[in-house]
Structure 1
Amino acid sequence: MEVVAYYRVSTGAQEKSGLGLEAQVDYVHSAARQQGWKIVAEYTETVSGTIAPQDRPECKKALANGLPVLVAKLDRIGRDVGHIAELMKRTSLKVATMPLADNFQLHLFAALAEQERSFIASRTRDALKALAVRAEEGDTESVAKVARRAETLARGRTDANRAKAVEAVQLRVSTWLETVRDPIDLCIRKGAKTLPAVAKCLNEKGVATSRGGEWSPMQVKRAMMALSLSFAS
């Protein structure tokens, strides 16, 4: 069977290193040898996977051959299940890592992969929210992680702007911590000798956490550590 090979590398690191392309070529040619497919043409382009296959110049050329399109992995042709479904109306797809899968099976794989990406994105958002909460409560390790994330996101900005981003995170955390220093210290001085006791004292006084909620013993512990407060003070 004659096929055309299509390779896609994302913009950025994959394009610069060439490793992404090299691995794809290995996958495709190995599968072709094993399955007895003859590669009659190869097309390569650097483009985001969010762009529909039919809108990519090199992919258009591959489709114009009227032959099955062979890719290394399914996400090289597309990450959107809708894009892949539309593509399957025009051609037969062959995937090197799943050489025996037909279009129907590949459609199912694409749907499952999209669902998993959605789950991962949701878990990532939840993890970042939890990290932000811990940072605002004074957990020093979380503060450092938030600062590093801010710096990473700021890459491409000037050094001055990156420094300001990190400084802003630290300032916000330290400012809030200072507002709860005296309430925590007073609770301790009035007889609260355990973390649950301090949490109860703060909640009874109506002192809110950084998120406006009630205190837990763990939140008290983080704040006390950040403020260098102890039950012996």
Structure 2
Amino acid sequence: MRKYVLFYRVSTKKQGESGLGLEAQQRDISIFLDTYSDTPYRILSEYTSIHSGSNIEDCPKFQEAIKACKCNNATLLIAKVDRLSRKVSVFSRVIEEIDVKVAVMPNADKFQLHIYAALAEQERDFISKRTKAALKEAKARGVKLGGIREGHDKMILAKREAAVARAEKLRPLVTELLKNHKSYSALARTLSSVNADGKKWQTTQAKRLLDRLSLTL
């Protein structure tokens, strides 16, 4: 029976929380298991890492996954080559120590995976150099880099004006509520209970509302 240890990796906490990167990896691995895997098979464990691929060896989840494969004579299953590591040296060492399968390259052997990892590393290095060169050229032409995009100030102003307009609509209600509410939290609770659209007010939002209306408790 083929035994698998599944390993997923995203680079940032935001990607992990959104689930977008993980969902794609889970989909690819599911396709591999349903279509290309030896049968029967067994999934021993799954590891999900939020860690940069450039220093994956410092990741505890990565180390646990490798150890699980060695202890159980299992195959490490990943969605794509770069989900394991972005360094060909690390990837090559891993595929020499344990059996590795890449979902999107289901029939690739160790030699092919090594070549692909090396080519991917070269491509990333070239893209990095090309980006730096383009930025240097743009700066030499007088292009302002990293500045606020055109229209940004207008957008911020429009949002502020819209917030003030919404607050003004609530002025009569808030003025009446202030007669009996002496804390922001109490005001927030009452606004939540009388709000027709079901919005739940927070204490900080109640305070900000009073600030916009120039009202005080």
What is the aligned counterpart of 1:115 among 115, 122, 125?
Answer: 122
The answer as to whether partners of 2:56 and 2:62 remain within 8 angstroms in 1 is: no
Equivalent position SS for 2:49? strand
2:92 matches 1:91: no
- CA distances 1:22-81 after superposition (whole Å, capped 9, x unpaired): 11111111101111343332111211111234x321222222232110001110000001
Equivalent positions of 1:1-233 (< 5 A) are 1-37=2-38, 38=41, 39-53=43-57, 55-65=58-68, 66=70, 67-135=74-142, 142-143=143-144, 146=145, 149-150=146-147
Distance in 2 (CA, whole Å) between partners of 1:24 and 1:132 is 38
Deviates more, 1:39-48 or 1:100-109: 39-48
Q: Cα distance, 1:103 vs. partner?
A: 1.4
**Residue ranges of structure 1 left out of the alignment (5+ in a row):** 136-141, 153-233
Q: Secondary structure at the match of 1:52?
A: helix
CA displacement 1:178-201 (0-9 Å, x = unmatched)? xxxxxxxxxxxxxxxxxxxxxxxx
Q: How many angstroms does 1:151 deviate by? A: 5.6
Matches of 2:75 and 2:89, distance apart in 1 = 19
Computed over aligned residues only, the root mean square deviation of the Cα atoms, in angstroms, reads 1.7
How far residue 150 of structure 1 moved from its aligned partner, in angstroms, is 4.6
Question: Which amino acid in 2 is paired with 1:41?
Answer: S
Paired residue secondary structure (2:7): strand
Aligned residues: 141
Instruction: Report the Cα distance in structure 2 between the residues aligned to 1:2 and 1:43, rounded to whole angstroms.
Output: 15
Q: What secondary structure does 1:97 align onto? A: coil
**What amino acid maps onto 1:60 in structure 2?**
Q
Tell whether the 8 Å contact from 2:66 to 2:76 is kept in structure 1 after alignment: yes
What TM-score does the superposition give when structure 1 sets the normalisation length?
A: 0.57
Secondary structure of 2:97's match? coil
- Structure 2: 5+ residue runs without aligned partners? 150-217
Distance 1:125 1:89, change over 3 A: same
Query: Quick one: distance in 2 between partners of 1:128 and 1:44?
Result: 35
- With over 3 angstroms needed to count, the CA separation of the structure-2 counterparts of 1:126 and 1:93, relative to structure 1, is same
